């Protein structure tokens, strides 16, 4: 069985691995992982299994030295190559045994959430000039995500957008983190209210 997503952008890799984007960029800038796990041309992207190894590298930093983590990754890759093999991958180092199963489950779950978020959003030139919207609606996905990030309770968001489900609201937040909105902050369009601008300053003050 192959992973649900084959290639990941830096923001998607951060979500899948459960780390920050700067940590993702460190992987490439400091050449922490083997170069076949990522690409820098035309843009930075990662193989799916890289997300698992990135998660392992950062999550075990408190217990294993850098050399021990890198050696474990090298040994694990010698035995595990497909996404399904990583599910039960186990590496024994002297008195230490590393099992990737629990970490695999966590990463795989986040990958499925990413995939669901991708499928939920559509960009159609005939709908709001191609603005990413939640499928079957004219609701901009980043508008919904902005409310989530501003700390608005999901119950209130659903009252504002009665056509949406709690699942769609949560996936909107996932999508927005995976595909950040570009350019100048746009005015947030909320039905029945006057348009308001969402800025980084405003978001920080609302948290």
pLDDT of residue 207 exceeding 50? no
Query: What does the pLDDT look like over 126-173, one tens digit per residue?
Result: 999 999 999 999 999 999 999 999 999 999 999 999 999 999 999 999
Cβ neighbours for 116, distance < 8 A, ≥ 6 positions apart? 171, 174
Q: Sign of the CA dihedral 27, 33, 37, 42?
A: positive
β-partners of residue 96 are 93
Domains and CATH numbers, the chain: 7-114 (1.10.1660), 123-206 (1.10.10.10)
DSSP 8-state class, residue 140:
B
Query: What does the pLDDT look like over 104-123, one tens digit per residue?
Result: 999 999 999 999 999 999 99
Question: Cα 170 vs. chain centroid, distance in angstroms?
Answer: 13
Distance of alpha carbon 114 from alpha carbon 103, whole angstroms: 17
The stretch 55-80 carries a mean pLDDT of: 94
**What is residue 1's predicted lDDT score, i.e. its pLDDT?**
53
89 within 8 A of 76, measured Cβ to Cβ: yes
Report residue 204 as tokens. Answer: 């920080």
Measured CA distances, 30 to 18, 22, 24, 35, 143 (Å): 19, 12, 10, 11, 36
**What is residue 94's predicted lDDT score, i.e. its pLDDT?**
67
27 within 8 A of 66, measured Cβ to Cβ: no
**What is residue 131's predicted lDDT score, i.e. its pLDDT?**
95
């Amino acid at each position: 069985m192959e992973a649900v997503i084959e290639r990941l952008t830096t923001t998607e890799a951060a979500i899948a691995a459960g780390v920050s984007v700067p940590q993702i960029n460190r992987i490439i800038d400091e050449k922490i992982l083997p170069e076949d796990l990522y690409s820098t041309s035309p843009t930075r992207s990662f193989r799916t299994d890289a997300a698992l190894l990135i998660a392992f590298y950062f999550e075990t930093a408190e217990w294993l030295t850098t050399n021990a983590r890198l050696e474990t990754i090298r040994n694990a890759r010698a035995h595990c190559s497909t996404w399904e093999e990583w599910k039960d991958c186990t590496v024994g180092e002297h008195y230490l045994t590393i099992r990737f199963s629990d970490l695999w489950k966590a990463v795989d779950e986040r990958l499925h959430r990413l995939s669901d978020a991708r499928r939920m959003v559509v960009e159609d030139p005939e709908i709001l000039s191609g603005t990413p919207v939640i499928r079957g609606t004219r609701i901009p996905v980043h508008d919904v995500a902005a409310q989530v990030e501003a700390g608005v309770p999901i119950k209130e968001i659903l009252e504002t957008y009665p056509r949406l489900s709690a699942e769609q609201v949560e996936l909107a937040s996932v999508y927005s983190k995976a595909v950040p909105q570009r350019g100048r902050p746009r005015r947030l369009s909320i039905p029945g209210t006057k348009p308001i601008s969402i800025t980084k300053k405003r978001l920080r003050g609302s948290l």
